[in-house]
């Protein structure tokens, strides 16, 4: 099964981190990524630029509505993601728990809908 | 066994024919949880397992009265359900691969029960419990799913117990099973590293089921009693399947100790009787003995969690011959510990009451007054109720009456409300207190 791991953390908290702490954190991310690549779980992943760089696009009544900022104001903001392969939810949860961001923010674990499947909610 | 497509052949029952007719109700209640847990593993789907089991029962109801009960009814039902599932899957091309998967799983021999079978059933049972209590499911869904699939309680009975419309409860179960399927919740006992955490979640579900039954307010009293019995049954299963888990033992002990008073808690008129006023000859001493032993055993094994603490307090309440013999200082000490590790409004109030009984009413009252200043306890009805009781004992009648009235504005439980009204009437009209 494939899962998307969405990494949420508070940008204001992040801004308070010292450059030494930040660099330590990036180091941890690098190490974690390598680990899941070696274990065969890694499919993809990226950090995202902060929400100050975000733009939201909606089309209503054929009109394009473009606004600045993320789709909603939230306490924690989306900062990055991993796309992984895992045998089941428990394995996905274990991997998510190892993401450095899990210690300060929240990781949402979402199963990818397989292309052949139609889901009844 | 038939290999021809679309033909269902059920292995003929071997062993002696049982001349006694089977009590299906009893069998279903006792066995369906275990049978279902194995079928879910074999078939990989809750709904399919339930449906096929129903069909297997239907066949059994027809055949067994005339052909005799098989030597191993469980194995027969599992085998029948499994074959029906394979047949059903084969008829639909989309599920052919699924059918072959099921066909490959190990066939259970139609033999009298063996140790191997017992072990396999125990493993499957544990798998089912852990799956139903998965943290990814909302709490109320965990409770409902556990009651439905592990305990075999009908959806209708569960909805009545929780005072929820049947359609709502049915939807809750559908969504829970849907999430298990869609989110990839595995059918597995958690690995050693995660077992502790996950077990805490399971114990909480069992505790919630027990409390729902124990703190019965309005509604079907019989159903509520059934919930306590189910929770205790679940507690026993967990202790049997996980004999090294001391907190599980402590929880079972706690439930048995509370439940031992079930016949003394309400008067003949259905009115609440407080612990200190209960007729102790109505307490179930065998349960008290068993519960106390379990707690002591759990403590010896190093249990220090919330259930171990609560159970220790419960044992101190349950064992004395009279209310006056209660060891309040020890109880107060245990509440102090509980407050440090698992603080809650109930714990705060109970501790103050224990201090009142152990040291002095004034000291307990002072603690309650301090609690009364905390905003988050503003709507907690047990706080003014406890204050009222202590004020009453101190002879401060008008203050006590005020406190009872305050408690009545906050209490919602029918039985508790009637109790508070009675107390209020007693102190306002000491000579004509009725109700």
Tell me, what's the pLDDT at B218? Answer: 52
Question: How far is residue B312's CA from residue B306's CA, in Å, rounded to a whole number?
Answer: 10
CATH number at residue A77: 3.30.70.1060
Q: Which residue of chain B comes nearest to A109, CA vs CA?
A: B183
Residue B253 lies in a domain: no
Q: Which residue of chain A comes nearest to B189, CA vs CA?
A: A90
| Radius of gyration in angstroms for the set of CA atoms belonging to chain B, rounded to a whole number | 26
Residues of B in contact with A119 (CB under 8 A): 182
Residue A117 lies in a domain: no
Q: Which residue of chain B comes nearest to A118, CA vs CA?
A: B182
Residues of B in contact with A1 (CB under 8 A): 184
| Contact call for A90 and B182, based on CB within 8 A | no
Residue B429 lies in a domain: yes
A-B CB pairs within 8 A amount to: 28
**How many C-beta atoms lie closer than 10 Å to residue B93's C-beta?**
8
Full pLDDT tens readout for chain B, 435 residues: 334 333 344 444 444 445 455 677 777 777 888 899 999 988 888 999 999 999 999 999 889 888 888 888 888 999 999 999 988 888 877 777 777 777 766 554 444 456 777 777 678 888 999 999 999 999 999 999 999 999 888 899 899 888 899 999 999 999 999 999 999 999 988 888 888 889 999 999 999 999 988 876 555 677 788 899 999 999 999 999 899 999 999 999 999 999 999 999 888 888 888 899 999 999 999 999 999 999 999 999 999 999 999 999 999 999 999 999 999 999 999 999 999 999 999 999 999 999 999 999 999 999 999 999 998 888 888 999 999 999 999 999 999 999 999 999 998 888 888 999 999 999 988 765 554
Q: Are strands A55-60 and A63-68 parallel, antiparallel or unpaired?
A: antiparallel
Number of domains into which chain A is organized = 1
Structural domain boundaries enclosing B332:
320-435
> Is B184 in CB contact (< 8 Å) with chain A?
yes
Number of domains into which chain B is organized = 1
**A88 closest CB neighbour out of B178, B184, B194:** B184
CATH number at residue B413: 1.25.40.10
Residue A118 lies in a domain: no
Residue B343 lies in a domain: yes
| Contact call for A111 and B182, based on CB within 8 A | yes
> Is A107 in CB contact (< 8 Å) with chain B?
no
Residue B389 lies in a domain: yes
**A89 closest CB neighbour out of B178, B185, B194:** B185
Low-confidence ranges of chain A (pLDDT < 70): 117-121
Handedness of CA B123, B29, B220, B281 (dihedral sign): negative
Question: How far is residue A100's CA from residue B158's CA, in Å, rounded to a whole number?
Answer: 42
Residue A28 lies in a domain: yes
Contacts for B217 with CB less than 8 Å, ≥ 6 apart: B412, B413, B414, B415, B416
Residue A80 lies in a domain: yes
Tell me, what's the pLDDT at B432? Answer: 58
**What are the φ and ψ backbone dihedral angles of A69, each rounded to 5 degrees?**
95, 180
Residue A119 lies in a domain: no
Residues of A in contact with B182 (CB under 8 A): 111, 119
| Contact call for A121 and B178, based on CB within 8 A | yes
> Is B130 in CB contact (< 8 Å) with chain A?
no
Q: Whole-model pTM?
A: 0.84
ipTM for this prediction: 0.87
Residue B303 lies in a domain: no
Residues of B in contact with A87 (CB under 8 A): 186
φ/ψ bin of B42: left (φ > 0), alpha (ψ from -120 to 50), beta (otherwise): alpha
């Amino acid at each position: 099964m494939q899962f998307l791991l969405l990494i949420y953390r508070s940008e204001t908290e992040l801004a308070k981190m010292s450059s030494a702490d930040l660099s330590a954190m990036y180091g941890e991310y690098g190490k974690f990524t390598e680990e899941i690549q070696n274990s065969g779980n890694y499919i993809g992943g990226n950090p995202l630029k902060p929400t100050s760089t975000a733009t939201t696009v909606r089309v209503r009544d054929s009109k394009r509505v473009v606004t600045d900022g993320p789709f909603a104001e939230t306490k924690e903001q989306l900062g990055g993601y991993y796309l992984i392969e895992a045998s089941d939810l428990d394995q996905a949860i274990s991997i998510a728990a190892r993401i450095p961001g899990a210690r300060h923010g929240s990781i949402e674990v979402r199963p990818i809908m397989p292309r052949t499947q139609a889901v009844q909610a | 066994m038939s290999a021809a497509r679309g033909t269902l052949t059920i292995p003929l029952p071997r062993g002696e024919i049982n001349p006694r007719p089977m009590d299906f109700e009893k069998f279903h209640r006792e066995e369906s949880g275990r049978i279902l847990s194995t079928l879910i593993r074999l078939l990989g789907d809750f709904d399919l397992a339930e449906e096929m089991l129903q069909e297997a029962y239907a066949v059994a109801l027809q055949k067994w009265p005339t052909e005799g009960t098989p030597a191993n009814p469980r194995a027969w039902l599992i085998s029948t359900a499994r074959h029906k599932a394979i047949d059903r899957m084969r008829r639909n091309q989309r599920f052919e691969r699924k059918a072959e998967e099921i066909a490959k799983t190990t066939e259970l021999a139609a033999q009298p029960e063996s140790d191997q079978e017992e072990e396999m059933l125990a493993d499957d049972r544990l798998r089912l419990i852990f799956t139903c209590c998965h943290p990814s499911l909302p709490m109320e869904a965990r409770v409902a799913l556990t009651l439905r699939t592990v305990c075999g309680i009908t959806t209708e009975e569960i909805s009545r117990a929780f005072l929820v419309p049947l359609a709502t409860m049915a939807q809750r179960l559908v969504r829970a099973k849907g999430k298990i399927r869609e989110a990839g919740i595995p059918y597995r006992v958690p690995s050693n590293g995660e077992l502790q955490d996950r077990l805490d979640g399971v114990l909480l579900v069992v505790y919630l089921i027990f409390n729902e039954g124990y703190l019965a307010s309005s509604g079907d009293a019989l159903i509520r009693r059934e919930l306590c019995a189910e929770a205790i049954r679940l507690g026993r299963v967990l202790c049997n399947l996980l004999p090294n888990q001391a907190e599980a033992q402590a929880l079972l002990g706690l439930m048995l100790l509370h439940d031992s008073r079930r016949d003394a808690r309400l008067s003949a008129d259905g009115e609440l009787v407080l612990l200190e006023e209960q007729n102790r000859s109505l307490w179930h001493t065998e349960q008290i003995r068993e519960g106390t032993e379990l707690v002591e055993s759990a403590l010896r094994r190093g249990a220090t969690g919330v259930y171990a603490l609560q159970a220790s307090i419960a044992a101190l309440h349950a064992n004395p011959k009279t209310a006056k013999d209660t060891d309040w200082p020890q109880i107060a000490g245990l509440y102090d510990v509980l407050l440090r590790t698992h603080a809650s409004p109930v714990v705060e109030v109970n501790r103050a009451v224990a201090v009142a009984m152990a040291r002095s009413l004034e000291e307990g009252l002072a603690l309650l007054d301090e609690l009364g200043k905390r905003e988050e306890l503003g709507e907690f009805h047990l706080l003014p109720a406890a204050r009222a009781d202590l004020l009453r004992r101190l002879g401060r009648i008008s203050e006590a009456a005020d406190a009872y009235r305050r408690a009545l504005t906050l209490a919602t439980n029918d039985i508790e409300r009637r109790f508070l009204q009675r107390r209020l009437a007693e102190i306002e009209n000491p000579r004509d207190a009725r109700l």
